[in-house]
Amino acid sequence: MTDTLTLTSPAKLNLFLHINGRRADGYHNLQTLFQLLDTGDQLTFRARQDDTITIAPDLPGVAPTENLIYRAAIALQANMEARGLPQMGADIHLDKRLPMGGGIGGGSSNAATTLIGLNHLWRAGSSRKALMEIGRTLGADVPVFVQGQSAWAEGIGEQLTPMLLPEKWFLVLCPDCHVSTREVFCHKDLTRDTRPIKVAAFSQGGSQNDCQSLVRSLYKEVDKALIWLKKFSNHARMTGTGACVFAAFDSAAKAEQVFAQRPAGMTGFIGRGINKAPYYNLIPD
Ligand SMILES: C[C@@](CO)(OP(=O)(O)O)[C@H](O)COP(=O)(O)OP(=O)(O)OC[C@H]1O[C@@H](n2ccc(N)nc2=O)[C@H](O)[C@@H]1O
Ligand SMILES: Nc1ncnc2c1ncn2[C@@H]1O[C@H](COP(=O)(O)OP(=O)(O)O)[C@@H](O)[C@H]1O
């Protein structure tokens, strides 16, 4: 076993997102289908013999101790301490490729990849389930990335059923605006009373993103991107609480052909849907 490890931290899309109600603690019960993508950030972990955690480079607008990578490393250290295991540290390099705050889960994915990578490097011996529990304390979307499989999710996103989805090619557009997840969930006009559906209803086309109409009305950039993408796909949709929007295609060539025609100044990427994250086999079940 070496003391350096490089992992891809994948993006996700919410193929649909239904909000079924608000809980007493303010969080929302939802149903969603998480599709993992092969596109992601690159994280390199180098083990240290002392207990220091360093992360380079800094993320613009994120205090070093608020970086989800740091918070994940500290949470794993605390868990190891509670289990009487020796403390170790790490120098972590982040090659950030995914846009932040776009509803593609980059921060949550970075946290999950850190838990998995450091669990391996530090020989912490935690199970997938135990790491998912730690992940839950860091954010609603972290457990699905720790589980490392495309999945149907309920509850606040933590009740997960792995799904085998067709591995399509997704064109993702990233409108130039930052949508706060919290702002959307707190908004008085958010649709939050969608009736729960069964998994099969999704494949019959009975689904939507309940945040989409609200976010379109608040952010004209999202509205414009969706209007444009709908010219090429009837199923173009927003992911999570936005701002990114996506459409699925049967081939890379078709996705690239559409992407090449994108409006001037519009950024985005093409990613292949994957059913398992690249680091899936790093943790024993
Ligand atoms: C709704 C999703 C769909 O994937 O949106 P995106 O963030 O990906 O856009 C996620 O579950 C978000 O997960 P995550 O981004 O980890 O959310 P958290 O940090 O746990 O919560 C941010 C804020 O969103 C609200 N929140 C989040 C999840 C949830 N089920 N109900 C909520 O009400 C809460 O106000 C919370 O303070
Ligand atoms: N390592 C990280 N990568 C991305 N965002 C991070 C990270 N650590 C903290 N954040 C914060 O989390 C927010 C949400 O990030 P991200 O998961 O990329 O978006 P979303 O939840 O919309 O999919 C960011 O705007 C940023 O302030």
pLDDT in tens, 134-160: 999 999 999 999 999 999 999 998 899
Please, which pLDDT band fits residue 285 given cuts at 50, 70 and 90?
Answer: confident
Please, which pLDDT band fits residue 120 given cuts at 50, 70 and 90?
Answer: very high
What pLDDT is attached to residue 198? Answer: 84
Percent of the chain with pLDDT over 70: 97
Please, which pLDDT band fits residue 206 given cuts at 50, 70 and 90?
Answer: confident
Please, which pLDDT band fits residue 19 given cuts at 50, 70 and 90?
Answer: very high
Please, which pLDDT band fits residue 202 given cuts at 50, 70 and 90?
Answer: low
Domain boundaries, the chain: 1-285
Percent of the chain with pLDDT over 90: 92
Tell me the pLDDT tens digit for each residue of 123-133: 999 999 999 99
Q: Out of 28, 110, 141, give the residue to mutate to test ligand 1, the one with the largest number of ligand atoms within 8 Å of its CB.
A: 141
The pTM score is 0.96
Instruction: State the closest ligand 1 atom to the C-alpha of 34, by its place in the atom list counted from 1.
Output: 4
Between β-strands 267-274 and 169-174, what pairing exists: parallel, antiparallel or unpaired? Answer: antiparallel
What pLDDT is attached to residue 261? Answer: 97
Q: Nearest ligand to the C-alpha of residue 183?
A: 1
Please, which pLDDT band fits residue 244 given cuts at 50, 70 and 90?
Answer: very high
Q: Whose CA is nearest to atom 14 of ligand 2?
A: 101
Q: Is 147 in the pocket of ligand 2 (CB under 6 A)?
A: no
Instruction: State the closest ligand 2 atom to the C-alpha of 141, by its place in the atom list counted from 1.
Output: 21
Q: Which amino acid is at 82?
A: A
3-state secondary structure labels for all residues of 219-268: CHHHHHHHHHHCCCCCCCEECCCCCCEEEEECCHHHHHHHHCCCCCCCEE
1 pLDDT above the threshold of 60: no
170 pLDDT above the threshold of 80: yes
CA of 110 to the centre of ligand 2 (A): 9
Between β-strands 89-95 and 28-48, what pairing exists: parallel, antiparallel or unpaired? Answer: antiparallel
Please, which pLDDT band fits residue 44 given cuts at 50, 70 and 90?
Answer: very high
42 pLDDT above the threshold of 60: yes
Q: Which amino acid is at 60?
A: P
- Topology of the domain covering 1-285: Ribosomal Protein S5; domain 2 (3.30.230)
199 pLDDT above the threshold of 80: no
Mean pLDDT in residue range 248-267: 97
Which residues share a beta bridge with 220?
none
Contact 240, 104 (CB under 8 A): yes
